Structure formats: C-alpha cells, structure tokens
Amino acid sequence: MSTTLAGAALLSLSSSAFAVCDGCVVGAVKEAEITLQTAIASLGSSLTTLLNEIDTDIASIGSKMSDSVVQAANTQREMSLEVQRQQEMDQVARETELPLDPCATSSSNYAVQAVSGAASISSSLRPGGTHVGYAPLDKALNSPAPSVEASRRASASIHADNYCTPLELQLGYPGCKTSQLPDGDADVGSIFIGAGMPGKSVDLTFTQQQQDAARAYARMSIDPQPPESINKAEAGTEAGKLYIAMQKAYQANMSSAIKPINNLIGSRQPFPGSAQLVQDLKQSDAAAQYFNATASSVAKGTGTMSLAELEDFEAGRRWRNPYWQIEFGAIADPTKLMRELLFTTAFLADQTHEHVELQRQTNVLLGQLLAADERGVDRPSIESQLQRVRATNAR
C-alpha cells in the first residue's frame, strides 16, 4: 500500500515537472521563431535592395554600352562617307585633269595668251610703236606730223600704190596700180573682215598686207591730217608752248577715237602660242572638220590664229557645227554632257564680261562726244563774254 502510494506520488510529481518544461520549450521555440523570422525578413530586405542596386548598375552599364555602340556606328558611317567623298573627289580630279579633251579645253588653255597678245598689239599701234613694211605708210604712221598739204599728198601716194579700185584705174587716175586690196585704206571692211576684193569671205586672222590696210584705214578715218609738229625753236616760244597745249588736247580726243579700232586690229593678228592651239583643235574630229570648213586662209596656211578667230571658233564650233551635234548626240555619259555644258557657260560668262568692258569704253566715247559738243556750242560765247569782262578793267 505504502509502495503504491509512493509510486503515485512520484508519478504525480513527474507529470507536473514535464508540464512546466514543455512550456519553457514552447516559449523558447516561439522566441527563436520570431528571431528567425525577423532575421529572414531583414535578410530579404537587404537582398531586395542589393538586387535593385545590381539591376540599376546593369541597366546603367547597358545604356553606356548602347551609347558606345551607337557612337561607334556613327563614327564608322562618317568615316565611310568621308572615304567615299574622297574617292569621288579623286575620280573627278582624274577625269578633269587637263588636257582632258584637246577640243574642249584648248580654248581655255590659250585664252589668256590670246587676250594678252591682242592687248599688247593694240598698244603697239600707237604712233612710234610697231612699224609696217611699206615705207610711205610707216612714215605717215610713226613720224612727226607734216603740214596738212604734205599729209594729203602722202595719203594720195599710199592709196595709188596699194589700194586703187578698178573704177579709178578705168578713169585713168595717174599713178594708180592694180591692187588686190581695192579701197583697203577707205573701206570699213578692212578692219572687220580684212581688206580684199569685193565679195571676199570673212578673214578674222589678217595677213600682213591686210594688217597694213587696216592701219591705213584707221589713219584715214580718224585723223588723216593731224596738227603739224613744230620744231625745237618754235616749241621754246610762248606761242609754241600754247600751241603744244592745244595740240595735246586735240590728241587726247583722237587717241580715244582710234583706240577701239586699234583694239579691233590687235584682235585680228596671230597671238603667240596660237600654232599649238591649232594643233590641239585638230585632235577632235568634230573640231577638225569645223576648222577646215570655217578657218581663215591664214589659220589654214600658217597654222596660227587670232583672238577674234579663236572667239568665233569657240562660239560656233557647237551649235553652228553639225559634226559636234552628231558627236554629242551619240554620247550618253552624263558626266561628259555636263562638262560640255559647263565649258559653254564659262565661255558665255567671259563674253558677257567682254561686253561690259566694251560698254565702258563706249561710255567714255559718249562722254567725250558730249564734251566736244559742249565746247563747240558754249565755249565761244563764254570766251566772248570773258573778253567783255576784261574790257571793263574791273580788277
């Protein structure tokens, strides 16, 4: 009995102790669970933040890489374009290197020489400049002016020796000789198309005889009897000094009047380098055929050319020339066609400039004509009034 009671007491004590221990364990477990959950939550938050930072870094790196790729592509494209542009420039340079086409470029190659040569020749035609082969004409052009009567006798002698017409021969004028340049000193055709028989073709490059005839015409048409030159003793007097002043005033207007004619004559004489020009022109079939059809006898015979003939050739070798139309009608290359258009445009620009220069010269002549008219109309009355003023002795 006692043993039974002891065992029951022991069992009761053991159950109570285990009950107390279970509560401790549960509490400890719950506390540990809470701590673990807190740690897990903190770890998740940190991991989320870290992942967000990594994602942001990755996005930034991707953007930078994308920008670098775009920049590299742009650089590559620009380099490719620059290489292409350089290749095109090199190709154009090769295709436009002179002489590309002797016919197309020859005029430009020699234009400066032609213009400069014509200007130099024109300047040399002033008194005391270039001489001519026929002595009486040379004396009339380059020697001191004789009396009016002597000038007229020289004009008559020059005409009889070189420029008599068939009608004058028929009339039996004394001293007249048969001439192949009738009225070469008196017909304006001598400076435009060259002296020669009636019905002759146009010559834009003159022979030496045609050049002399043109100068004889210029002398006859502008100033056949210039004011007589005075000697040294006469020039030293007061009256002589006044005469020279009047002579120079007269000469100033005459030089302006004869300058356009001298320019015309200068443009019709062969210029240095024109022989090579003619050779270049013949390299093109179309140009060669046009040259053979239209060139002057001097250009064909001597192989030289004047500025006037060069300009006429350049103006006419395209639209006047059926051979050029056939040649370029068969060309489909747009580069060659465009180049030909540019050459034509450049020539037109040069001719426009030449027209402007001629207009300026015309304006000078018009101003001098106005001044001469004013001197003839009002100057005498002004001088008369001055004499009346002087007569009053109001000084």
Alpha helices in 238-333 (DSSP H): 238-266, 274-281, 285-294, 297-302, 307-316, 322-329
Residue 18 clears pLDDT 50, i.e. is over it:
no
pLDDT band for 61, please (50, 70, 90 cuts): low
Query: What is the distance between the terminal CA atoms of the chain, rounded to a whole angstrom?
Result: 187
Q: How far apart are CA 149 and CA 171, in angstroms?
A: 24
Q: What is the mean pLDDT of residues 236-242?
A: 90
Q: Report yes or no: 107 and 310 within 8 Å, Cβ to Cβ.
A: yes
Distance CA(367)–CA(374), nearest Å, equals 11
Q: How far apart are CA 57 and CA 177, in angstroms?
A: 113
Two structure tokens written together for 307: 């500025």
Share of the chain above pLDDT 70, in %: 81
- At 58 the pLDDT is 67
- 3: tokens are 């043993």
Nearest C-alpha neighbor of 328 from the set 97, 101, 89: 101
* 321-349 average pLDDT score: 78
Output the pLDDT for position 79. 81
Q: How far apart are CA 323 and CA 290, in angstroms?
A: 7
- The pTM of this model reads 0.67
- What percent of the chain has pLDDT above 90? 38
Q: Closest Cα to residue 226, out of 156, 152, 130? A: 152
Q: What is the mean pLDDT of the chain?
A: 82
141 compared with 104, residue with greater pLDDT? 141
Q: CA–CA separation, 315 vs 354, rounded Å?
A: 14
Give me the pLDDT at residue 140, please: 95
* Span 247-275, average pLDDT: 90
pLDDT higher than threshold 70 for residue 23: no
Cα-based torsion angle of the residue sequence 234, 236, 237, 243 in order, rounded to the nearest 10 degrees: 70
Q: List Cβ neighbours of 189 (8 Å cut-off, separation of 6 or more).
A: 195, 196
pLDDT for 213 equals 97
| Tokens of residue 90, six digits | 């090199």
Token pair, residue 263, equals 């320019």
Cβ atoms of 112 and 312 within 8 Å: the answer is: no
The reported pLDDT for the residue numbered 219 is: 95
101-105, 255-259, 260-264, 303-307: range with lowest mean pLDDT: 101-105
